Amino acid sequence: MNVIIPTQDSRMGEIIEKVRHGQRLTLEDGVFLYESDDLLTIGQLANEVALRKNGKKVYFIENMSLYFTNVCEAHCAFCNFRKDEGDPGAYTLSGEQMIEYVEQHIHPGVREFHIVGGHNQHVPFQYYVDSLKALNEKYPDVTLKAYTAAEIDFFSRISGLSYKEVLQELMKAGLKSLTGGGAEILSDHYRKKMRVTKADVSQYLDVHRTAHNLGLRTHTTMLYGSIETKEDRIRHLMQIRELQDETNGFLVFIPLSMQPINPKAGIRRRNSAFEDLKTIAISRLMLDNFQHIKAYFINIGVQLTQVALTMGASDAHGTIVKEKISHAAGALTPEGITREDLIWLIKGAGRIPVERDTFYNEIKIYE
């Protein structure tokens, strides 16, 4: 589908040729794309790749976000979700309390629990195992996609177990996939500056490598829009691309647009729509070995998500029900969305909505 507007930029022309001939883009290529203001060409090229990989299908899932605890030992500069033990609003739910919450909010058709939370050092590793076990026993047909790589590293530290042993214990309790969070920007300089005291770059990658080797398919993210450089972003993409070459264990890449700490912050404190679309498109072009790039409506809004489906994204996330982390940090978007609205949103972009499970098996196609 060669519909790209002719460009006078020879460098852009070279990149178009590379993409069309299946050649991998380099660090220099990625940085050039970030520095270009030719969003339409970048977006059309990403669209071409997405159509080649998935046709007009765009995937979504009926899922529900759960947060067992917001108590956290880490003090990441960008987080407004975390609390210290004893702070107003701090909480740690038992499995029974979480089931009570789920019963109040769940709707028919939910296929996945997306579970993340704080690194609460006041409870043992067994608490995190039991949390999954309680949900798995009550809702055996709902897939448990739980914990970030940073949480797995934290569990390893408090339990004295290896990553492999931690994951095996969680798998016995019902774990089926890891969430993508905790990546932030895969740069040790960035992590030091942003006070990311949880898992470092090599630990984040090693947790996912270990999970993949145990047969778990996982998700991965990039939190962009603070102090990182364009080169930092491209190096981040290249590191997960390299691990994907090694294991083929990632299901999807999720670019996360940084939210300001203050919900009342103006547009100058947020990523521009231009930057969000460009990041999704560049991710699609750089990550040639990923099947899916997600447009996360919680961070970029539903209308921009719709546009992103024509610029490289092939996943519109899910119903969520009640998202808390981005909203604690100032997201102005809905906390969830209905299945009907997701279908409308995807069809409105000229795409075919496909309801999926956690592993992108197709449940229903809405022609």
Q: What pLDDT was estimated at residue 362?
A: 98
Q: What pLDDT was estimated at residue 322?
A: 59
Q: What pLDDT was estimated at residue 102?
A: 94
Q: In three state form, how does the secondary structure of the chain look? A: CCCCCCCCCHHHHHHHHHHHCCCCCCHHHHHHHHHCCCHHHHHHHHHHHHHHHHCCEEEEECEEEECCECECCCCCCCCCCCECCCCCCCCECCHHHHHHHHHHHCCCCCCEEEECCCCCCCCCHHHHHHHHHHHHHHCCCCEEEECCHHHHHHHHHHHCCCHHHHHHHHHHHCEEECCCCCCCCCCHHHHHHCCCCCCCHHHHHHHHHHHHHCCCCEEEEEEECCCCCHHHHHHHHHHHHHHHHHHCCEEEEEEEECCCCCCCCCHHHCCCHHHHHHHHHHHHHHCCCCCEEECCHHHHCHHHHHHHCCCCCCEEEECCCCCCHHHHCCCCCCCCCCHHHHHHHHHHCCCEEEEECCCCCEEEECC
Q: From the annotation, which residues make up the binding site?
A: 72, 76, 78-79, 184, 195
pTM for this prediction: 0.93
Q: From the annotation, which residues make up the binding site for [4Fe-4S] cluster?
A: 72, 76, 79
Q: From the annotation, which residues make up the binding site for S-adenosyl-L-methionine?
A: 78, 184, 195
Positions of the chain with pLDDT lower than 70, given as ranges: 1-7, 260-269, 320-336
Q: What pLDDT was estimated at residue 114?
A: 95
Q: What pLDDT was estimated at residue 264?
A: 66
Q: What pLDDT was estimated at residue 334?
A: 62
